[in-house]
Amino acid sequence: MNDVWEFIMTNEIVYTLTIAVIGVLVILFITNIMKKSLSRYVKDDNNWYKARKAANILGFVLITVYLAIIYSDMLGGITVVLSVASAGIAFSLREVIASIAGWLTILVGGMFGTGHRVQLGGVTGDVIDIGVLRTTIMETGDWVNADLYNGRIVKIANSFVFTEPVYNYSTDFPFLWDEITLPIKFGSDYTYVRELIRSTAFEEIGMYSGQTEAYWDSMVRKYIIEDAKTEPMVTLAVNDNWVEFTLRYVVDYKSRRLTKDKLFTSILEKIERHPEKAGLASATFELVNAPPVDVNVKNK
């Protein structure tokens, strides 16, 4: 043991490397203790996630500074080597560099954060982690209807922010406009049906009115955008088979499917209570000309 230690002390490169490894291990140990201590006091999942990420970043910064101090005498030579090889390094690590730049853009620009529902690179879901190189998403949709989780976790390189559009469902205006359509028979009481749909919408989703107006007012002040209506709106259209009523409304971006279920259930129940005033239509077909039919009956 003494011989090994004497060899380490006499060999400058091995000695520096040993001190660097020991220092890194100490910093990692302190970081882990810090995260365990924080877990006792931070109970909220969102705050715990942020505290854990902050502890990891702090550990990374301390390790970088520590290694820079240890190898300060070698920095001059390293700088010369890097300057010569910078073109090759930049080309071979272009995706990594772009992802790191994308990570900084996401954090500084506030494009989205953890918990936001976004569409990135054609993938829709909730952001569950933002790493230095990749953003992790719990995917929704695909083979699952509406905005429900399908169970897949998708990792997307952060460089996408420079090459593809970023759709955020929950930043400045955490609501979506959605629509449902109802086919109504010709000859129904259209005024009655319109008022029935409108009143049902206010009963089921009226609680969003105040919130949506406040959010939209802040949007109008922040962006050049029209002062749109956020209250439920009912419109009527006619086609060859029925009268079509469309209900347009604003809903929380995570409650689209549940809200549709409530609206359809309530509206259908009310229509069926008064069949003399209105009825749902179904597709009908008129037979214009039937082909001739030749039937031969033979007695055995």
Q: Give the containing element (helix H, strand E) for 119.
A: strand 117-120
Strands 134-140 and 149-157: antiparallel
Q: Residues for the chain: how many in total? A: 300
The answer to whether 198 touches 225, Cβ cutoff 8 Å, is no
- Threshold 0.85, pTM exceeds: no
The answer to whether 104 touches 162, Cβ cutoff 8 Å, is no
Tokens in use for 109?
């620009």
Tokens in use for 128?
């569950």
| Local structure of 175: helix, strand or coil | strand
pLDDT of residue 166: 86
pLDDT of residue 245: 93
pLDDT of residue 247: 93
| Local structure of 144: helix, strand or coil | coil
The amino acid at 118: V
Q: What is the pLDDT along the chain (300 residues), one digit of tens a residue?
A: 555 555 555 566 666 777 778 888 888 888 888 777 766 666 666 666 667 777 777 777 777 777 777 766 655 555 555 555 555 655 556 777 788 888 888 888 778 888 888 888 788 888 888 888 888 888 887 777 767 888 888 988 888 888 888 888 887 788 888 899 999 888 888 899 899 999 998 888 877 777 787 788 777 777 777 777 778 889 999 888 889 999 998 888 888 888 888 999 999 999 888 888 888 887 665 556 666 666 666 665
Residues 6 or more apart in contact with residue 281 via CB below 8 angstroms? 183, 184, 185, 186, 241, 242, 243
